[in-house]
Amino acid sequence: MKSPKFGIVVYPGSNCDHDAYYAVKKQLGFDADFLWHKEKDLKNSDVIILPGGFSYGDYLRTGAVARFSPIMDKVFNFAETGGIVIGICNGFQILLESNLLPGCMIQNETLKFICRDVYLKVETKSSIFSSDIKKDILRIPVAHGEGNYYADENTLSELNANSQILFRYSSETGDTGKLFNPNGSLENIAGILNKRGNILGMMPHPERACDNSLRNTDGESIFYSVVKSLIIKRELNVR
């Protein structure tokens, strides 16, 4: 069977595009290609990754300018028709600015740029991004200065009611108390889904946790989950 293809969008200032490519293609063995933000072709990608970095230097607001890159119209169409989109770190910020995901991102409470491993409690395994995650808690690195997720009360209760909160910052044993919140995010939110469940935004970097030589492969299961869901979808289409 043909390998699912990951399309990784490259904005000026992206710096985790190669990490994502390396993880998906070299480590996990799936097809992957870069998509320059000025292009208007998704090159038959099955999954779109908006990578981490500092698109447009984070000027104005994080992700605010990247949201208007020429390729984004194609990404919006792709997402609207159920295409799988993963926004990591700056990619998450771009998804928020695009209104593909609800809420917004402000500076970390401490104003510090945080770069370290965090633990994430996996809140649901019935999403296409988590169906193949075996563990209940993942260890994944974060690297951001603006990861403080905010949404109004209505949005927040909707996220909870629809099981759209996929990851929360936690302790190694899954305690989601304030003590384990690195950036001030509401309800320790680290990653959310859209209502339909085909778009994921997360601040931690799963692509940086896919290589055994780094002694952490907890990120793999997110990509494997996505591929599994694509294969199931294909089999259903064949029948």
Partner 1 sequence: MYKVTVIVRRRPSILDPQGKAAEQGAKHLGFMNVSGTRIGKYIEFNVDTKNHEEAEKEIKLYCEKLLTNPIMEDYSYTISQVI
Among 41, 73, 136, 152, binds partner 1 (CB under 8 A): 152
Whether 37 is a known active-site residue: answer: no
| Selected range binding partner 1 among 45-53, 108-116, 210-218, 221-229, rule: CB under 8 A | 108-116
User: Which residue's entry shows tokens 């069977």?
Assistant: 1
> Strand 104-106 to strand 84-88: parallel, antiparallel, or no bridges (unpaired)?
unpaired
Rule CB under 8 A: say whether 60 interacts with partner 1: yes
Whether 158 is a known active-site residue: answer: no
Dist CA 130 CA 224 (whole Å) = 9
CB of 176 to partner 1, least distance (A): 19
Backbone region of residue 45 per phi and psi (left: phi > 0; alpha: psi in -120 to 50; beta: other values) = beta
**123: closest CA among 201, 192, 194?**
192
Q: With residue 87 as reference, give the H or E element that holds it.
A: strand 84-88
Dist CA 136 CA 57 (whole Å) = 35
| Selected range binding partner 1 among 14-22, 50-58, 73-81, 148-156, rule: CB under 8 A | 148-156
Among 31, 33, 64, 76, binds partner 1 (CB under 8 A): 64
Rule CB under 8 A: say whether 106 interacts with partner 1: yes
User: Which residue's entry shows tokens 């694509």?
Assistant: 230
Whether 207 is a known active-site residue: answer: yes
Binding residues for partner 1, per CB under 8 A? 60-61, 64-65, 68, 97, 103-104, 106-111, 148, 150-152, 184
Active-site residues, by number, are: 89, 205, 207
